[in-house]
């Protein structure tokens, strides 16, 4: 038990949340619970899951407008100027994940409308317009930034190999070293 306590300090919370989810699923279907969770997300609310868990779940269940924001995406969205160019006055706090999500969604809607990736369309067996799928774009960003994968735009960025370095605000500020 000491080993469990040491490596799972929040196990009581996890057990409580799992119990709540089981209770809710006994009164509905996965589809019903997913739709309820999606409707909550559209109001910047959540139930049982945290924001990132909620959006990760929803994106993985085909709600591609949801962006499970973590530090990799946050860093990329700020550095590249997506946040600065596509945030709105009422959602302009770069420390709020939902405001960064809005900026990425606006970027996708404006800059990627009509853009499709054949491999994604073939896998999903449907057409997916990236202008309406910031959750899919988020996957590209995450792979690009994750230290476990491409590791380009990480805590210590590797700008020299980055194809986005010219428009990147971080790279542009490199004159101050």
Mean pLDDT value across residues 30-36: 93
Do 77 and 44 fall within a single domain? Answer: no
| 169 in the same domain as 98 | yes
44 and 119 share one domain: no
Predicted local distance difference test score (pLDDT) of residue 3 = 54
Residues 89, 160, single domain; the answer is yes
* Residue bearing tokens 């101050």: 176
**Residue 56: inside a domain:** no
Q: Indicate the number of domains in the chain.
A: 2
Entry pTM: 0.82
Q: 152 CB contacts (<8 Å, ≥6 apart)?
A: 144, 145, 158, 161, 162
How many other CB atoms sit within 10 Å of the CB of residue 111? 14
Tens digits of residue pLDDT in 76-133: 999 999 999 999 999 999 999 999 999 999 999 999 999 999 998 898 898 999 999 9
What Rg do the C-alpha atoms of the chain give, in angstroms?
19
Question: What was the pLDDT predicted at 7?
Answer: 61
Residue matched to tokens 């970027």: 107
Q: Considering the domain boundaries, does residue 165 fall inside one?
A: yes
Helices (H) and strands (E) in the chain, counts: 10, 0
Quickly state the pLDDT bin for 174 (edges 50, 70, 90): low
pLDDT digits (tens, 9 = 90+) for 38-49: 999 999 899 888
Residue 92: give the domain boundaries.
71-175
Q: Is the pLDDT of residue 141 over 60?
A: yes
């Amino acid at each position: 038990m000491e080993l469990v306590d040491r490596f799972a300090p929040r196990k009581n919370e996890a057990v409580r949340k799992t119990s709540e989810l089981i209770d809710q699923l006994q009164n509905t279907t996965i589809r019903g619970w997913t739709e309820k969770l999606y409707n909550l997300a559209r109001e910047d609310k959540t139930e049982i899951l945290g924001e990132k868990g909620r959006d990760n779940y929803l994106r993985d269940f085909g709600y591609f407008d949801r962006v499970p924001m973590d530090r990799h995406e946050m860093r990329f969205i700020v550095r590249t100027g997506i946040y600065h160019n596509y945030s709105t006055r009422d959602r302009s706090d770069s420390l709020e994940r939902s405001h960064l999500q809005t900026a990425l969604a606006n970027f996708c809607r404006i800059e990627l409308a009509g853009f499709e990736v054949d491999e994604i369309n073939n896998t999903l067996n449907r057409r997916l317009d990236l202008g309406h799928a910031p959750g899919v774009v988020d996957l590209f960003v995450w792979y690009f930034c994750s230290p476990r994968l491409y590791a380009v735009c990480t805590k210590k960025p590797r700008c020299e190999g980055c194809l986005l370095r010219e428009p990147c605000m971080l790279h542009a500020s490199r004159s101050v070293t």
